[in-house]
């Protein structure tokens, strides 16, 4: 990376724009590929991201940024609180609440307490309730034009309606999919009723060239297809419009597209805006203008063999079985890749418009600004490991990217690439520091670092990144260095505290479990960069596996692990048998014989 000067002191609170996308792979950004591979193309082929590339040239690109959980809600909660899941007590899609003493404030809440106006356009995904017995979610930002509210209101190109009988179950009894067209017509299809998916084909699939996830457990997900709406009227187009409406109504009240009364930003106060796009999350429906171009492009399909499953533990085989797409035809797989990258290219065009408008607003109010672009709340597989999904400990689920720039260029120098690991828990302290908040004094619970310090201080370098998941297959943790990717089963339960067990129950299970019971996976990324050969039980890697298992157990279970029963007001447990285990270095591997690649 380019040399960064000493960190200056910001005297004026900057306006802040945090851009976040959903299910976006790091390799969909040409600047990331150029930094890591020396070419703008991904390993699969052509990508198009001129606006994120331009933003990277204006600041610092972090091509090795890793999320802390490969699922939307736990990842977003981790970012919003600046905590690892094992320190926040939020491991999956359970609802949290502020009645627990351990619950920490989110980024917009902290900023509001420090003089900021806050606004969300798009997806929050935090799943925070007002209280355990309440189903409603509190307003986290001053104003929200929320992605799911847009969907429920029929604004955009796609949506679904779920019907429940809450007295019997929290599972839906009917799910209806809606596709919206420019002329006002709506195509509706009831694809789930009476506890079963319908076997009837949806007539709209042929019209919009839709490919669904017919080879996996959730068979109705749209993995490829054409949006019924033009570029400006898709769900993401409407999210951008909500953002633009806010900036265009400074110093006055206006009605949002949902009918809510919103106060536009006041010029004399700093503002923080979260622009949280839906793309390229399923349904993968790029506008026709993008889909037509990308369907003419060749792509290499990821390699996968079912022989890989023979070396995988039960948890990872279960992930494959639930989310497999290797049974699709080669033509369908190609379309899945083409439409995914078409969707990310379309999203990049929206990001470019948002950045332009945000800069214009700041120029008018004469205030410095900070822009953080987070590429994916987590990643997405396009056939790697035989799946098209997230929810896994493999690299494609964990690997993202970040770009940070400030208007002065003093904090985040232009044309800089920081090629060491960073984590998504770094987002909160970076934003707080920019806002003039004393991170160390006021927010000592934060697990990350201010990225403006990371690029200047070698002592903040990480040897590894962390993540934990609790979706689909139960608790599994992973620890990833540049050489090794390690994961293991960490709890013996399928559910979460308050569901299948008490907070802290059998906390030493993984420590006492046999190697087989721990269901380990180890990949030598130098020899096997696509993670196709599990070496956790190979004799040549026995010592390495032992070190990484011990390290992972101590960090995730013993270094102040918090487990919370979120169904109760204030029930939690902290385990502290290995405080300090997370020291961010892997000195334990020094001196061990590491096999050479064959």
Q: Domain residue spans in the chain?
A: 15-146+231-460, 474-589
Classify the C-alpha dihedral 296-300-302-307 as positive or negative: positive
Q: Quote the pLDDT of residue 2.
A: 46
CA–CA gap between residue 545 and residue 556 (Å, rounded): 16
pTM of the shown model: 0.96
CA angle 98–99–103, rounded 5-degree value: 45
Blockwise average pLDDT, block size 10, the chain, 598 residues: 62 95 98 98 98 98 98 97 97 93 95 97 94 82 96 95 80 90 94 79 90 91 97 98 98 96 97 98 98 97 97 97 96 98 98 98 97 98 97 97 97 97 98 91 90 97 97 94 98 92 97 98 97 97 98 98 96 97 96 89
Of 22, 58, 60, 63, nearest to 42 by C-alpha is 63
Strands 117-122 and 143-146: parallel
Architecture of domain 15-146+231-460: 3-Layer(aba) Sandwich (3.40)
Query: For residues 281 and 388, what is the distance between their CA atoms, to the nearest angstrom?
Result: 11
Burial group, residue 6, by CB count within 10 angstroms (0-12, 13-18, 19+): exposed
> CB–CB of 580/514 below 8 Å?
no
Within 363-410, strands assigned E span 369-375, 399-406
What pLDDT score was predicted for residue 27?
98
H/E stretch holding 159: strand 158-164
Q: What CA–CA distance (Å, rounded) separates 71 from 79?
A: 12
pLDDT number for residue 10: 62
In the prediction, which pLDDT does 5 show? Answer: 65
Bridge partners of 119, per DSSP, are 143, 273
Residue 595's CB is within 10 A of a number of other CB atoms, namely: 13
Element (H, E) at 358: helix 330-365
Six token digits for residue 413? 């120098």
**Max CA pair span of the chain:** 68
Using alpha carbons, select from 228, 229, 187, 231 the residue that is nearest to residue 208. 228
105 Cα distance to chain centroid: 19
């Amino acid at each position: 990376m380019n040399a960064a000067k000493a960190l200056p002191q910001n005297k004026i609170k900057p306006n802040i724009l945090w851009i976040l996308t959903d299910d976006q792979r790091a390799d969909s950004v040409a600047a990331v590929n150029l930094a890591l591979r020396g070419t703008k193309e991904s390993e699969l082929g052509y990508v198009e991201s001129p606006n994120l590339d331009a933003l990277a040239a204006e600041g610092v690109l972090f091509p090795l940024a890793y999320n802390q959980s490969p699922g939307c809600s736990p990842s977003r909660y981790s970012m919003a609180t600046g905590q690892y899941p094992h320190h926040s007590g939020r491991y999956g899609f359970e609802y949290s609440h502020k009645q627990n003493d351990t619950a920490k404030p989110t980024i917009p809440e902290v900023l509001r307490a420090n003089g900021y106006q806050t606004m969300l356009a798009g997806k929050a995904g935090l799943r925070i309730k007002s209280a355990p017995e309440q189903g409603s979610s509190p307003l986290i930002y001053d104003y929200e034009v929320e992605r799911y509210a847009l969907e429920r209101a029929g604004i955009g190109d796609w949506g679904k309606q779920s019907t429940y009988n809450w007295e019997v179950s929290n599972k839906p009894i009917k799910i209806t999919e809606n596709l919206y067209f420019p002329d006002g017509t709506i195509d509706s299809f009831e694809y789930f009723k009476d506890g079963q998916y319908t076997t009837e084909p949806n007539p709209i699939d042929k019209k919009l060239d839709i490919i669904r996830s017919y080879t996996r457990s959730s068979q109705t997900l749209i993995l490829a297809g054409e949006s019924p709406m033009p570029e400006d009227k898709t769900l993401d187009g409407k999210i951008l419009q909500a953002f633009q409406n806010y900036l265009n109504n400074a110093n006055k009240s206006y009605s949002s597209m949902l009918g809510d009364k919103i106060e536009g930003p006041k010029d004399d106060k700093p503002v923080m805006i979260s622009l949280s796009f839906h793309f390229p999350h399923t349904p993968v429906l790029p506008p026709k203008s993008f889909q037509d171009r990308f369907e003419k492009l060749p792509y290499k399909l990821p390699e996968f063999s079912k022989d890989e499953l023979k070396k995988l533990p039960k948890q990872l085989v279960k992930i494959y079985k639930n989310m497999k797409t290797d049974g699709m035809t080669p033509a369908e797989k190609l379309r899945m890749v083409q439409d995914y990258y078409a969707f990310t290219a379309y999203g990049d065009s929206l990001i470019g418009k948002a950045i332009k408008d945000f800069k214009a607003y700041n120029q008018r109010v004469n205030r410095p600004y900070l822009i953080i672009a987070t590429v994916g709340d987590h990643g997405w597989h396009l056939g790697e490991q035989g799946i098209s999904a997230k929810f896994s400990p493999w690299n494609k689920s964990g690997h993202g990217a970040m770009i940070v720039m400030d208007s002065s260029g003093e904090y985040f120098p232009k044309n800089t690439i920081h090629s060491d690991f960073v984590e998504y828990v770094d987002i909160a302290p970076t934003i707080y520091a920019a806002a003039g908040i004393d991170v160390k004094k006021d927010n000592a619970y934060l697990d990350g670092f201010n990225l403006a310090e990371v690029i200047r201080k070698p002592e903040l370098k990480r040897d590894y990144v962390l993540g934990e998941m609790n979706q689909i297959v139960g608790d599994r943790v992973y620890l990833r260095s540049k050489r090794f990717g390690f994961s293991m089963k960490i709890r013996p339960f399928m559910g979460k505290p308050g569901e299948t067990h008490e907070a802290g129950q059998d906390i030493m299970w993984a420590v006492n479990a046999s190697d087989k019971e721990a269901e380990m996976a180890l990949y030598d990324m130098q020899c096997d960069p696509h993670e196709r050969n599990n070496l956790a039980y190979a004799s040549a890697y026995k010592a390495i596996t032992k070190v990484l298992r011990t390290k992972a157990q101590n960090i995730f279970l013993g270094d102040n692990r918090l487990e919370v029963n979120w169904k109760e007001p204030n029930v939690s447990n902290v385990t502290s048998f290995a405080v300090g285990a997370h020291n961010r270095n892997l000195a334990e591997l020094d001196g061990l014989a590491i096999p050479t690649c064959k």
